[in-house]
Amino acid sequence: MFADRVLSGMRPTGSLHLGHYHGVLKNWVQMQHEYECLFFVADWHALTTHYDTPQIIEQSVWDMVVDWLAAGVDPAHATLFIQSRVPEHAELHLLLSMITPLGWLERVPTYKDQQEKLSEKDLSTYGFLGYPLLQSADILIYRATQVPVGEDQVPHIEFTREIARRFNHIYGREPGFEERAEAAVKKLGGKKAKLFAELRTRYQEHGDDEALESAKSLLDEQQSLSHGDRERLFGYLEGGGKMILSEPRAMLTAASKMPGLDGQKMSKSYDNTITLREDEASVSKKIRTMPTDPARIRRTDVGDPDKCPVWPLHLVYSSEQTKQWVIQGCKSAGIGCIECKQPVIDAVLEEQRPMRERAQQYLDDPALVRNIIADGCEKARKLASETMRDVREAMGLSYS
């Protein structure tokens, strides 16, 4: 239950481009082989800012899933689902809202930032203020241990940790906790009980983090512990009450350095993107018409790669040898700009070829995609309902 589990979500607000591929998707593809992974379409999050353009969301949801599959996210290794198909997220969001101080939400930096940045939209809504809390519900409902996110999202993970702590603090204090925890220690059996007690002392009295980690893995290995006892022991170990929700860690994904067609970072808002599965002719054309060093007006003018938006693309895609060829050719006017761009065009097309191929089967048979998502939603719901059972019980809502 507390073993490593990775969760991440993406908002469906338009087509994905190579910046998403280099910044996020490549990472997901790698992580799916290293961890249990859950990846979901955050359609409710998209509605917080795009509530007046539901058409965009609906279309983007399926396009985005095809993009994920095209990039190599593999449903045999990762669970793919849609947030709104797991309504338990909404229930947890509501329940957590009962204990969430307004000030905490107002102080999350993205709240004011985004309101200012998207000033053409009215974002003084209840839903938008609750954005980070909905994200907390997404994470906590799966007891995710790691959340791969970009720098801008780190405050949301911090916020989530505080919510989990507050929840455990308020609802983890059952009557007779100490006695119950001690009884649970005994159930580990003589040797392990003794080891657990030693590790706990080492951590609590000497702050020994290694002892904490060892004790956690000891607990992870105990298949026969009941769920309640597991929560008690994790809480008891760290010196609190029952640990009903576990605190996630942010897993910082290296910021995408993917340059766009104009030298700025690739982003839809700069209109400088190449989409993930863009057709070959369009990719070639976009790169062929990219601006270059403005000093190279004629073919015979020398240029400087450092002043050219094509150069950052060579840094992403080209070999050492090609880069030397560019530097020399550019500075001596030995090569023309069209010539210089060709290796980049070739590399982008080659990168996209397997993506286009993988996507084709899903475009030919959309039912495949629906089935992958239906399976994923079912798996996710099962995990989510386990957490909800504990949450409802802790909050006095498990009537029987």
Asked if 261 interacts with ligand SF4 (CB under 6 A), we say: no
| Near ligand TRP in 96-135, by CB under 6 A | 135
User: Considering beta carbons, is residue 155 or 263 the nearer one to ligand TRP?
Assistant: 155
Identify which of 173, 30, 146, 89 has the alpha carbon closest to the alpha carbon of residue 387: 89
Our CB check for ligand TRP shows the closer of 44 and 325 to be 44
Distance CA 167, CA 165 (A): 5
Q: How many helices (H) and strands (E) does the chain have?
A: 19, 5
Chain-centroid distance, C-alpha 63: 18
Q: Give the per-residue contact string, 350-369, with ligand SF4 (x = CB under 6 A; - = no).
A: --------------------
Q: Rounded to the nearest 5 degrees, what angle is found at the Cα of 27, between the Cα atoms of 24 and 31? A: 140
- Spatial strand order of the sheet with 249-252 comes to 78-82, 36-41, 5-10, 146-149, 249-252
Which candidate, 326, 325, 317, 320, places its Cα nearest to that of 292?
326
CB of 334 to ligand SF4, least distance (A): 9
Residue 316 carries which side chain, given as an amino acid letter?
A: V
Q: Which stretch binds ligand TRP (CB under 6 A): 4-12, 68-76, 90-98, 194-202?
A: 4-12
At residue 384, what is the residue type?
A
Note whether 337 binds ligand SF4 by CB under 6 A: yes
Q: Does 140 bind ligand SF4 (CB under 6 A)?
A: no
Task: Work out which of 13, 84, 146, 153 binds ligand TRP, going by CB under 6 A.
Answer: 153
Which position has the token pair 């060829």?
A: 325
Among 159, 311, 325, 362, binds ligand SF4 (CB under 6 A): 311
Residues of span 37-76 touching ligand TRP by CB under 6 A: 42, 45
Instruction: Point out which residues bind ligand SF4 (CB under 6 A).
Output: 292-293, 296, 303, 305, 308, 310-311, 326, 330, 335, 337, 340-341
Residues near ligand TRP (CB under 6 A): 7-9, 11, 42, 45, 135, 138-139, 147, 149, 153
